[in-house]
Structure 1
Amino acid sequence: MDKRVLLPTDYSKNALNAIRYALDLYKNVQCDFYILNAFQASGYTLDSMMVPEPGERLYDLAKEASEAGMERLMGMIKLHPENPKHRFHYISTFNSLVEAIKNEIAKKDIDVIVMGTKGLTESKARIFGTNTVSVMESIKQCPVIAVPSDYMYVPPKEIAFPTDYKTDFKKSEMAQLVEIAKLHGSKINVVHIDKDKDGKLSKQEETHKRLLQDIMEGLDYELHFLSAVKVSKGINLFIESTNCNMFAFMNRKHLFFGSILSNPLVKEIGYDPKIPILELNDN
């Protein structure tokens, strides 16, 4: 089956940039791209008892605006170099973004979501958008790639992947990272973060480390050790010093950084992202 990529859009510049990034990232892959706009009607909340229906003025106006935006977007995508490996599908639906994404994952068996870090309504102070965080926290069925505003595509030749080896690894969880590394000849920089600063692993941690190495067998990878004064600062310094083009992490609940997204780490690394972030989910 061809790769299935979901591309949520609110027609913002950042969303368009993320779509372009996805087209370049998977340019050598047979892909079905599902471009999704979830619209709402002004004056209605989705949890309200009153939900507008087709034929009602506010619903029809919102749907027309969504479809007009999709028409414009289709024209912009056609300006991208044509790729016979890529097929496009356009979806305009009345729903919240997260629920719309869940529906499409279930219906289309989506492999990965690629979206911008910031949309039309995000304030300049909040660099990492609330929509992106909501999707990362709510969607566990497939990985999410978040692309910063104005990020110009660069093949992800160096990928940072922090871990403390406290949990095991599964091939299925690591599949998107391994695929990207194979596609682009990437080097995966596994960064072991040790808050105790001695670098010694327990027997269980050694087992997890060997399992990770087995999964990455045949790939270009290097194991690094970071004695973290502060985890987020250490990772940021590592990313800068190695010129990484992508930051990947496993979003495990209650482990490593706790839920990484509600933890200060993502506020320091993710809220001002300089490079695309690949969020992998445990399953």
Structure 2
Amino acid sequence: MTKHILIPTDFSKNAWNATKYAMALYENETCVFHILNTYTPNIAHSRFMATSINGAALEDSTRRHSLNGLEHLIQRIQDDFKNPNHSFEAISSFSLLVDEIKDLVEEKNIDLIVTGTKGASGLEEVFMGSNTVRIIKSIKNCPVLAVPQYFEFERPSEIAFATDFNRFYTKSELEPLLEMARMFRATVRIVHVQYEIKALTELQLFNLNMLRKYLNTVEHYVHTVSELNSVSKTLEVFSDELDIHLLAMLNYPHSYMERITKEPIVKRVAFHTQIPLLVIPELGMNSTKRTKKEEMSFSNSLGSR
């Protein structure tokens, strides 16, 4: 089954690194890579500027730069990777990045968005208002894989899934995680960060048991760890000590993902993750991707509370 992967690019080094990562990650999969560059010409406003500037000509020039950049980028990918499983579509769009991504996710049935993050502190950059955080916050129907600028591809044989078990997950929501684990025969390490170690509630136990059922064909372990100063620092240390290659989180209200974004910067500043982050959006209760069996399980969980 052909996968459709969207890679936004601004032709920077970190965008190229994310592109390389995507090519290596899906080396053995049949994929269409949709390579997107958006542009909005910067027309300066000044009382000293001649009023005869031709806006259409400026837009045309910027569009040519975008198209040429995409053409050279795709040629570079084909020269470097020479993978017959992969095909490419160049998309140059005069629009805002997030708006165009929203449209393409629907129009092209995108399975995954792969984007780069800047600097050594990749995740910190994500939470400081970059394009990546805007994508993560705005795209509600497609997983996002954020790749740090200097991360060299490693086969993700160890994947961490951070959760607090307070929310019922459906198998459909977890499919991006399950697929990645199956594809690389990876071990999934479910990590639960607690401010103080205490027994799980009845609801948490139910959600944990459902999660383990979904992962029954995948080698997995549950790790409960004490919070070290902040959730972000705890996940960083955990990932480093267990040599994690990919960190996955669901993005929903009150999730670890949201908690990290709301942590004081003084706590987040030490969060220098060097591994890719897979952000999985929650599916709404009315999503057609939920199965009847999942709906029944969810209803039963509510009834038992």
User: What is the TM-score of this pair, normalised by structure 2?
Assistant: 0.82
Question: Does 2:231 correspond to 1:228?
Answer: no
Question: Does 2:211 correspond to 1:212?
Answer: yes
C-alpha distance after superposition, 1:172-201 (max 9, x if no partner) = 111111111111111111011222322x11
Question: Does 2:24 correspond to 1:18?
Answer: no
Distance 1:25 1:240 in 2: 21
Question: Does 2:43 correspond to 1:43?
Answer: yes
Distance 1:38 1:244 in 2: 33
Distance 2:44 2:28 in 1: 43
Quick check: 1:232–1:265 contact (8 Å CA) kept in 2? no
Quick check: 2:162–2:256 contact (8 Å CA) kept in 1? no
What letter is aligned with 2:240?
A: E
Distance 1:203 1:149 in 2: 41
User: Who is 1:168 aligned against?
Assistant: 168
Task: Name the SS for the 1:79 alignment partner.
Answer: helix
User: Who is 2:64 aligned against?
Assistant: 64
> What displacement does 1:103 show?
1.1
Question: Does 2:40 correspond to 1:5?
Answer: no
* 1:271/1:116 CA distance change after superposition, 3 Å: farther
What letter is aligned with 1:262?
A: T
Distance 1:160 1:269 in 2: 21
* 1:76/1:190 CA distance change after superposition, 3 Å: same
C-alpha distance after superposition, 1:110-129 (max 9, x if no partner) = 0110010139xxxx9x7446
Distance 2:262 2:167 in 1: 18
Task: Name the SS for the 1:210 alignment partner.
Answer: helix
What letter is aligned with 1:209?
A: L
Task: Name the SS for the 1:140 alignment partner.
Answer: coil
> What displacement does 1:261 show?
5.9
Quick check: 1:133–1:261 contact (8 Å CA) kept in 2? no
Structure 2 residues without counterparts, runs of 5 or longer: 46-53, 284-305
* 1:22/1:258 CA distance change after superposition, 3 Å: closer
Which deviates further from its counterpart, 260-269 or 92-101?
260-269
C-alpha distance after superposition, 1:10-63 (max 9, x if no partner) = 000111111110111111111111000011111279xxxxxxxx9811110110
User: Who is 2:301 aligned against?
Assistant: none
Task: Name the SS for the 1:56 alignment partner.
Answer: helix
What letter is aligned with 1:202?
A: T
How many residue pairs get aligned? The number is 269
Alignment map for 1:65-104 (pairs within 5 Å): 65-104=65-104
Quick check: 2:4–2:32 contact (8 Å CA) kept in 1? yes
Q: Between Structure 1 and Structure 2, whose CA radius of gyration is higher? A: 2
Distance 1:33 1:261 in 2: 31
Percent identity of paired positions between Structure 1 and Structure 2: 34
User: Who is 1:239 aligned against?
Assistant: 239
Quick check: 1:137–1:261 contact (8 Å CA) kept in 2? no
* 1:118/1:44 CA distance change after superposition, 3 Å: farther
Distance 2:112 2:24 in 1: 15
* 1:140/1:186 CA distance change after superposition, 3 Å: same
Quick check: 2:23–2:81 contact (8 Å CA) kept in 1? no
What letter is aligned with 2:103?
A: N
Structure 1 residues without counterparts, runs of 5 or longer: 46-53
> What displacement does 1:205 show?
0.5
Distance 1:111 1:270 in 2: 32
User: Who is 1:135 aligned against?
Assistant: 135
- RMSD, matched Cα: 2.5
Higher helix share goes to which structure?
2
* 1:181/1:257 CA distance change after superposition, 3 Å: closer
Distance 2:20 2:148 in 1: 12
Quick check: 1:118–1:132 contact (8 Å CA) kept in 2? no
